[in-house]
Amino acid sequence: MFIFSRVQVIYITLSFLLCSETHLIRSAIYKHRVMCRGHSPIRFCPKRYFPVCATNGRTYFNKCVFCLAYRENGGSFIISHFGKC
């Protein structure tokens, strides 16, 4: 039988709330803002696979590839969420 102390229960509850809030805030920020300043304008992107889904319905290999397409299309779409569409 598991018996938790008050401190453990408070710690678990606060940890859960912090993780949930962080996830919600991260989704809200990236859904409306596109930050492509740090990515190379010379068409060179790292080969790390971290898919990005855009509001145009396409999945991009990573954020750098998304930023290249974003610049080419004049900012006509934004990041919908991280992961495959």
pTM for the predicted model, two decimal places? 0.57
Q: What pLDDT shows up at residue 52?
A: 92
Asked if residue 35 belongs to a domain, the reply is yes
- Tell me which residue range forms the domain holding 56: 9-82
Q: What pLDDT shows up at residue 18?
A: 63
Asked if residue 1 belongs to a domain, the reply is no
Asked if residue 69 belongs to a domain, the reply is yes
Could you give the percent of the chain with pLDDT greater than 70? 68
Q: What pLDDT shows up at residue 46?
A: 85
Q: What pLDDT shows up at residue 32?
A: 47
* CA 76 – CA 83 distance, rounded (Å): 20
Mean pLDDT over 48-59 rounds to 93
* CA 40 – CA 13 distance, rounded (Å): 42
Asked if residue 4 belongs to a domain, the reply is no
Give residue-wise pLDDT tens across range 15-33: 766 665 545 555 555 454 6
Give me the number of domains the chain comprises: 1
